[in-house]
Amino acid sequence: MRRILKWVGIILVVFIVIIGGFLAYVAINGIPRYKAKKIDLVVDKSPERVSHGRELATKLCMLCHRDPGTGRLSGIRLLDMPEAFGVAYSKNITQHKERGIGSWTDGEIAWLLRTGIHPRTGMYVPPWMPKFPHMSDYDLHSIIAFLRSNDDMLKPDERVNRQSEPTFFAKFLCYVAFKPFEYPAGAMPHPDTSNTVAYGKYLATGVYDCYECHSKDFSTNDPVVPEKSEGFFGGGLEMPDASGLIVRTANITGDKLHGIGRYTRDEFISLLSTSIRPDGTPLRYPMVSYRSLGPHALGSLYDYLITTPALPNTVSVVKPAGPWSSKGAQLFDMYACTSCHGKTGIGIVSLKKADAKYYNDSVIANVIRTQWKYNPDSFMPTFDGRIKEEDLATLSSYVRELSRK
C-alpha cells in the first residue's frame, strides 16, 4: 500500500511540475510563433476589384485600424476589447514601407489573412484580429487589391506600431484554443449568390463571422467548423462600447421569442441598414450599420440565420441610466452616440473637428439625420424621422459643445 501511495505521490509531483513548467513557458514566451511560408500570388488590381475590396474593408478593417483623427488605417487602441484579453492595438496597415505594409507582397498579405501567422516574424496574430480561412479567393483578393491601392485611408503614415499587452489568459488560449489555420491547398470558390441560404451562411461564417461575437464565448468558438461553437448565434457575449458600457450581443438564431424569428425579413433588413430596432431604439457599438451590403445580402443573412437552431437565450437590451450633466448629455447617451464617440466626443470616431467643419447647428442636425449622405463609409444609425426636432436641436448644440472642449 505504501509503495502504491509513493508512486501516486511521484506521479502527482511530476504532473504538477509539467503543468507548472508549461504555464511558466507560456508566461515567459508569450504569443507563440510558427514557420511562415512564401506564397506566390499576384492579385488582379482592376478598379472593379479595388472597389469591391474597399466595400469589404470598410466593415472588416476600418473599424479596428482607422485613426479617427487622420482617417488613415494606421492603427488604434481597440476599445471594445474584453477585459480578460488585456490591452490591444491594431497595426499600421498603410502603404508606409517600414511602419506599414507598403513593402509586403500580395502573397504575404494573403498568408496573414488566411492563417493568422505574421509572414515575416512568424508570430501568431491573437484572436482579436479576424482570420479568413473560409473566404472565397474573389473576396480575399479584392481586399488585397484595395490594400495595395492609393486610397486616402492607405496613404503612408509614420505612426509606429504599438505593442499589445495580452493577459496571461489570452496567451494561454493561443496555445490551447486559438490556433493558426492551414493555408488552402486549392482554390476557394465564391458561393452561388442566388442561393440565399448558402450565400447568407457564407457571409455569416466566412466573411463577417457574425458567430464570433454572437455565440456564447470567444474561447469556445470553433472557427474551423463554426456550427460547433457553443451557443452558436445565441448571443450573450459581453463587450464594452466606446464609453465603457457593457453591451451583450444579441440572440440572432431563428428563435421566435428571443431571436430574429420575431422579425420579418423586411424588418431585419431595415434593422441592419439603419441600426434602429422596430421599437425605435438604436443598436449600440460594437454592432454597426451594414447599409452598404444592400437588401440582397442582408436578406440572405436573414434566410440563413432563420434556419439555425433556435436557442431560447434571453438577452436584455442595454438602457443607459445616467446621471447626466445636461439634457444634451442625456440625449447623447440615449441615442447611443456615446457608444462610438465616447462620453467626451473622442472615442472610436472623433467629434473633435465638428465645430470647425459644420458652420451651424442646422448642418450638424442634417449630419445626424443622414450621416451616410455626408460620409458613405459611416456606421452611424439612420436617425432621419426618428428624433424629435426639439431633441435634435439640443443634441446638435451638445455635439458642438463637445467639439469645442
Please check whether residues 56 and 169 belong to one and the same domain.
yes
Residue 231 lies in a domain: yes
The answer to the question of residue 181 being in a domain is no
CATH of the domain at 282: 1.10.760
Asked whether residue 322 is assigned to any structural domain, the reply reads: no
Name the nearest CA neighbour of 265 among 313, 197, 192.
197
The cell for 376 is 458613405
Query: In the structure, how many helices (H) and strands (E) does the chain have?
Result: 16, 4
Which of 275, 305, 335 is the last residue in one of the domains?
305
Q: Residue for cell digits 505521490?
A: 9
Domain count, the chain: 3
Q: Which distant-in-sequence residues (6+ apart) come within 8 Å of 280 by Cβ?
A: 386
CATH number of 377's domain: 1.10.760.10
Phi (first) and psi of residue 86, to 5 degrees: 95, -155
CA dist 125 to 2, 6, 14, Å?
A: 50, 44, 32
Q: Are 164 and 205 found together in one domain?
A: no
Query: CA 222, CA 179: separation in Å to the nearest integer?
Result: 10
Residue 286 lies in a domain: yes
> Do both 131 and 249 map to the same domain?
no
Host domain of residue 372: 327-404
| 145 and 108 housed in the same domain | yes
- In the predicted model, what is the mean pLDDT of the chain? 89
Residue 23 is predicted with a pLDDT of 62
Q: What is the pLDDT of residue 179?
A: 86
CA 281 from centroid of its chain's CA atoms: 22
Question: Which segments in the chain show pLDDT lower than 50?
Answer: none
42-68 pLDDT, tens digit per residue, is 999 999 999 999 999 998 998 889 998
pLDDT of residue 360: 86
Region label for 55, one of left (φ > 0), alpha (ψ between -120 and 50) or beta (otherwise): alpha
Asked whether residue 3 is assigned to any structural domain, the reply reads no
Among 120, 141, 176, the domain boundary falls at 176
- Same domain for 163 and 83: yes
